[in-house]
């Protein structure tokens, strides 16, 4: 089966992995990890980079090859709809484009989204022409409301940001996939390659991660592992897994033996006897 590319607005991507720019030990390691990941989209927190064109020192943006990667500015750090909208406007004014990963957090301890503020900011930014990719909770009702507002995708969390706990509620992801027709990209909480693979096996269209790669013992090797996990998980989803059963099911069918009126072991015994070998 030939897979289709991931489509976000007018953009198309061969990779279904989106990665970040924060927390890496050095910018140079970040660049190598980006290359190893095979990702086509890289997200950056607008509020945490220097957008002044007259700046003398390098910022993270200087380490992202805009010819190779589509830049996804995000509103990380916003706790109100007004803050998120202001950051989105800053990104557009700085020439970062109309793509925006919309985050409106509810509290500093869990970093879970403020759904009401998220819906408010989404409605305004979509009307202003932004291609909105909202970070949200794993609620299918909210996902449907976001799609109705015109988002390019929905990005439910697997677990709290940076927790590394992997997907906590597979059933809710299933409900979200059934509720919306836009792409579903799992965002936040992935800890290792198996987490990413599970998300893709369940039918997610993509996975966004930062901490799992940036804080790994070897970020470059982990980026490569995530690349392979997302790819293999997607292939497994397209292939279709076998149904789960309560009891065992023989891998080798017995029908041909039963049709001859003998068991496999009896047939084996006869063959051994004819060959002059010890009978098992």
* Residue range 26-77, pLDDT digits in tens: 999 999 999 999 999 999 999 888 777 667 678 888 899 999 999 999 999 9
| pLDDT for the residue 50 | 77
Nearest to 233 by CA among 209, 208, 199, 207: 199
| pLDDT for the residue 201 | 96
Confidence of residue 235 (pLDDT cuts 50, 70, 90): very high
Sheet with strand 155-156: strands edge to edge: 155-156, 131-136, 99-102, 70-74, 41-45, 17-19, 206-209, 185-187
Q: What CA–CA distances, in Å, run from 87 to 97, 104, 144?
A: 13, 11, 25
Residue 177 and residue 203: Cα distance in Å, rounded? 7
Residue 182 and residue 11: Cα distance in Å, rounded? 14
Q: Check pLDDT > 80 for residue 279.
A: no
Domains and CATH numbers, the chain: 6-239 (3.20.20.70)
Cβ neighbours of residue 216 closer than 8 Å, sequence gap 6 or more: 222
* Residue range 195-225, pLDDT digits in tens: 999 999 999 999 999 999 999 999 999 999 9
* Residue range 244-265, pLDDT digits in tens: 888 988 887 666 555 555 555 5
Q: For the chain, what is the HEC assignment?
A: CCCCCEEECCEEECCCEEECCCCCCCHHHHHHHHHHHCCCEEEEEHHHCCCCCCCCCCCHHHHCCCCCCEEEEECCCCCCHHHHHHHHHHHHHCCCCCEEEECCECCCCCCCECHHHHHHHHHHHHHCCCEEEEEECCCHHHHHHHHHHCCCCEEECCCCCCCCCCCCCHHHHHHHHHHCCCCEEEECCCCCHHHHHHHHHCCCCEEEECHHHHCCCCHHHHHHHHHHHHHHHHHHHHHCCCCCCCCCCCCCCCHHHHCCCCCHHHHHHHHHHHCCCCCC
| pLDDT for the residue 267 | 53
β-pairing verdict for 185-187 and 206-209: parallel
* Residue range 170-181, pLDDT digits in tens: 999 999 999 999
Confidence of residue 268 (pLDDT cuts 50, 70, 90): low
Average pLDDT over residues 80-94: 96
Q: Are 73 and 46 in contact (CB under 8 A)?
A: yes
| pLDDT for the residue 59 | 80
Residue 211 and residue 39: Cα distance in Å, rounded? 15
Confidence of residue 21 (pLDDT cuts 50, 70, 90): very high
Q: Are 86 and 95 in contact (CB under 8 A)?
A: no
Confidence of residue 78 (pLDDT cuts 50, 70, 90): very high
| pLDDT for the residue 60 | 82
- Single pTM value for the model: 0.86
Average pLDDT over residues 135-152: 97
User: Which residue did the predictor score with more confidence, 227 or 278?
Assistant: 227
Residues marked active site are found at 101
């Amino acid at each position: 089966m030939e897979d289709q590319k991931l489509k976000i607005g007018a953009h198309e991507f061969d990779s279904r992995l989106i990665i970040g720019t924060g927390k890496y030990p050095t910018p140079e390691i970040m660049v190598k990890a980006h290359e190893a990941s095979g990702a086509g989209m890289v997200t950056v927190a607008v509020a945490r980079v220097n957008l002044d064109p007259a700046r003398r020192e390098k910022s993270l943006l200087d380490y992202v090859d805009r010819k190779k990667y589509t830049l996804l500015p995000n509103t990380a750090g916003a706790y109100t709809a007004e803050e998120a909208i202001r950051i989105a406007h800053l990104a557009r004014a700085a020439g970062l484009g109309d793509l925006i990963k919309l985050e409106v957090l509810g509290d500093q301890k869990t970093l879970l989204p403020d759904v009401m503020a998220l819906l408010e900011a989404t409605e305004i930014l979509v009307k202003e022409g932004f291609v909105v990719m909202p970070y949200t909770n794993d609620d299918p009702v909210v996902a449907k409301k976001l799609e109705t507002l015109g988002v390019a995708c929905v990005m439910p969390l697997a677990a709290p940001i940076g927790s590394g706990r992997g997907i906590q509620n597979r059933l809710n992801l299933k409900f979200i996939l059934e509720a919306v027709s836009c792409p579903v990209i799992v965002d936040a909480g992935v800890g290792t390659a198996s987490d990413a693979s599970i998300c893709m096996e369940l039918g997610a269209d993509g996975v966004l991660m930062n901490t799992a790669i940036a804080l790994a013992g070897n970020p470059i090797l982990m980026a490569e592992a995530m690349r392979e996990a997302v790819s293999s998980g997607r292939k497994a989803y397209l292939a279709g897994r076998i149904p789960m059963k309560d009891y065992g099911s023989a891998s080798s069918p017995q029908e041909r033996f039963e049709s001859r009126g003998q068991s496999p072991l009896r047939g084996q015994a006869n063959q051994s006897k004819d060959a002059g070998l010890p009978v098992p």
